[in-house]
Amino acid sequence: MHYLRSFLHYLRAEVFVLPTRIIAVAFVIALLILPLFTQDPYLLRMLILASVFAIYATSWDILAGYAGQISLGHALFFGTGAYTTALLGLHLGLPPSLTVPLGAVAATLAGLAVGIPCLRLRKHYLALATLAFPLMLTGLVFMFPGFSGGEGGIWRIARLAATRVGEYYLIVGTMLAVVLILWRIAGSRVGLIFHAIREDEVAARALGINTIRYKLLAFAISGFTAGVAGALYAHVTRIAGPSNLNLFMSFQPIIWTIFGGVATVYGPVTGVFILYPALDLLHVVLPQYRMLIFALLVLFILRFMPQGVTTWVRDRIERVCPSCRVRNVATRRTCRACGAELRD
Amino acid sequence: MVADILVNGLVHSGVYAMLSLGFGLVFGVGRVLNLAHTAFYMIAAYGIFYLVRMGLAMPVATALTAVGVMAVGLAIYKVFIEPVREVESTVLITTLAAAILLQEVAMVLFGSELRHVPPAFPGYTLIAGVRVGNQEMATLVLAGVCLAGVWLLLSHTRLGLAIRAAAQDREVANLMGINVNRVTAIVMGLGFLLAALAGAAIAPLSPVEPQMWMHPLVIVLAAVVLGGLGSLKGSLIGAVILAFAEVVVVFLVPGGSYLRTAVALLIMVCVFLVRPEGLFGASIAEER
């Protein structure tokens, strides 16, 4: 009873005061109870893939949005995760419960392997050096077709769960857990240091921050998360192929993240859950023009909301208190924390 | 074999050099990392294909295509890119979306099959006992004329002076009375012109298809950073190095066409290990 009361108090004091938090909680609840109302396989599959891509997009946001290490080759981590889980399943016959974590570990190692040589590179040089790695790995995949499946990829990877609903809960649960952990990391001291490194690396180092360690940490976290996404993707689509490593796969998380709002964690999730179903719907309605409309949609929305959708919406419905920096509903006259007057 | 490598390497160097020069100028002056740069090269190749099939002569088709591509490019720049120019990451995605848009327009208009443009200069010439196609020579001449033209523009005109000033420091150039926004628009136009001419140069030599922009984009990005961002000389040298690396791999390694991109990029990464700012780039201390 006591816990219930404190929980209700927490909801009232911390969640229901801000519209964005209400939206976030409502979104999570809706995702969790959806299979109770409909078990349409098409809809479930779409949401499963959207959840996998949400993990992938958020991993890009941690590395590029927070730590400022813009990676144009994020497909390296995604593809490493996918290929590791597929190869372990194919050659050693291991179950998914083992191969998915191993895929994520392999992607973490890939993150460190890319991060270490790239430590000296800044900004655009780093972005373009990272662009190179997945394409070089693609070259390796084509060189050893007997081992890696070559151009056709690896087929018939094991399913994660026997039923579609089981798979749905497994993946949506993983997505929510990963996003929550990343959100906590981003809000912690580590996240603050990532911000500092992005804004001014030299100044951060002058403050005594070991920027090398934190940059590698960003690469490792991001690689691990993207590896989880890649491994899950391989099990959901049941194929791992060179398309997991191509240029478009590297660009996709960037589109979603910047569309949703960079350096926010919830931005990339929003971006994926808007753009991926939209693209899927267009595939059904107008297959020939779907990428055309998709590109126009991204162009126009970014033209009018250059900071991304979530940032634009948040700045319309919420306001920051000028004296204590706490966020408030736009309808309030006074700050909910310090009582200072909120001016327009 | 050696002659083949030399001729193909030179032709690819010419095309990549034109693309890298335009890309480097746009980045240096406008601070726009234009991922759509090679998409304009793709639509120029389609423009040539369409106009030549309509029965126009190659030079007329090239001129019309160049004007058309510049108009489309500047329209996209003015409507979508210029308003968000200050937000760097958004520019990245806006240009990428523009590239996908152009690819899809080409796909809808022409379909995804490979298209071929008949060579405007058929036949070949014997140079020191080596057969060199006339079309290849025309491509090289076009590339040479373009590079010389850009060099003359940059070093011998007032506009060139303004462009170099804006590239060095936008704010100060603005204070000196240069209309930086107009200079940026002009440079964007110049970049689109170079991309269009590169597309015209490649159309008769290789098949035209909607996805043909991706591979040159990777090579151009690699060439520009290999040479050092902001250094036009560097990006030209980078383009030549990568073009020859690709051609050597394709000719000498079995199954090399899969590996050509990987090897070109490996070279770029190796250069980075030694010189993080590229071959001719400003070192970090001098960077603004």
pLDDT for B191: 93
Q: Which residues from chain A sit within 8 angstroms of residue B89, using beta carbons?
A: 64, 70, 254, 258, 262
Query: Does the residue B10 lie in any domain?
Result: yes
Range of the domain at B149: 2-211
Residues 249-278 of chain B with CB under 8 A from chain A are: 255, 258-259, 261-263, 265-266, 268-269, 272-273, 276-278
ipTM of the complex: 0.84
A139 touching B (Cβ < 8 Å): yes
Mutate to test the interface with B, among A63, A128, A130, A199 (most CBs of B within 10 A): A128
Q: What is the H or E stretch that residue A9 is in?
A: helix A2-10
A107 touching B (Cβ < 8 Å): no
SS3 content of chain A, % helix, strand, coil (to 5): 75, 5, 20
| Percentage, residues of chain B above pLDDT 70 | 97
Q: Looking at the predicted structure, is the pLDDT value of residue B287 above 50?
A: no
pLDDT for A128: 82
A319-to-A121, A267, A339, A341, B23 alpha-carbon distances in Å: 38, 18, 14, 12, 41
Tokens of B280: 């001719």
Interface contact flag, A142 B255, Cβ < 8 Å:
yes
Residues 62-91 of chain A with CB under 8 A from chain B are: 64, 70
The 3 state secondary structure assigned to B123-188 is: CEEEECCEEEEHHHHHHHHHHHHHHHHHHHHHHHCHHHHHHHHHHHCHHHHHHCCCCHHHHHHHHH
Mutate to test the interface with A, among B35, B37, B101 (most CBs of A within 10 A): B101
For residues B42 and B220, the answer to whether their CB atoms sit within 8 Å is no
Interface contact flag, A143 B255, Cβ < 8 Å:
yes
List the alpha helices (DSSP H) in chain B. 2-30, 37-53, 58-76, 88-110, 134-156, 158-168, 170-175, 180-202, 214-227, 232-252, 256-274
Domain count, chain B: 1
Handedness of CA A70, A72, A76, A78 (dihedral sign): positive
- Output phi, psi for B236, to 5 deg: -65, -45
Mutate to test the interface with A, among B37, B93, B288 (most CBs of A within 10 A): B93
Mutate to test the interface with A, among B20, B225, B253 (most CBs of A within 10 A): B225
Query: Does the residue B240 lie in any domain?
Result: no
Residues 6+ apart with CB under 8 A from B9: B243, B244, B247, B248
A142 touching B (Cβ < 8 Å): yes
∠ CA(B218), CA(B221), CA(B222), 5° rounding? 85
* pLDDT tens profile A17-65: 888 889 999 999 999 999 898 888 889 999 999 999 999 999 999 999 8
For residues A234 and A156, the answer to whether their CB atoms sit within 8 Å is no
pTM score, two decimals? 0.88
Closest CA in chain B for residue A293: B101
Q: Looking at the predicted structure, is the pLDDT value of residue B288 above 60?
A: no
Query: Does the residue B189 lie in any domain?
Result: yes
Query: Does the residue B32 lie in any domain?
Result: yes
CATH classification number, A41-304, choose in 1.10.3470, 3.90.320, 3.40.50, 1.20.58:
1.10.3470
- Name beta bridge partners: B215: none
For residues B74 and B185, the answer to whether their CB atoms sit within 8 Å is yes
A121 touching B (Cβ < 8 Å): yes
pLDDT for A322: 83
* pLDDT tens profile A55-113: 999 999 999 989 988 888 899 999 999 999 999 988 888 888 888 999 999 999 999 98
Handedness of CA B137, B139, B141, B143 (dihedral sign): negative
Q: What type of residue is A51? A: S
The residue that leads in pLDDT, B272 or A172, is A172
Residues 257-286 of chain A with CB under 8 A from chain B are: 258-259, 262
* pLDDT tens profile B140-166: 899 999 999 999 999 899 999 999 888
Q: Looking at the predicted structure, is the pLDDT value of residue A127 above 50?
A: yes
Rounded to an integer, what distance in angstroms lies between the CA atom of residue A232 and that of residue A222?
15
Query: Does the residue B138 lie in any domain?
Result: yes
Query: Does the residue B107 lie in any domain?
Result: yes
Query: What's the average model confidence in pLDDT over B53-72?
Result: 91
Query: Does the residue B155 lie in any domain?
Result: yes
Interface contact flag, B266 A132, Cβ < 8 Å:
yes
Query: Does the residue B13 lie in any domain?
Result: yes
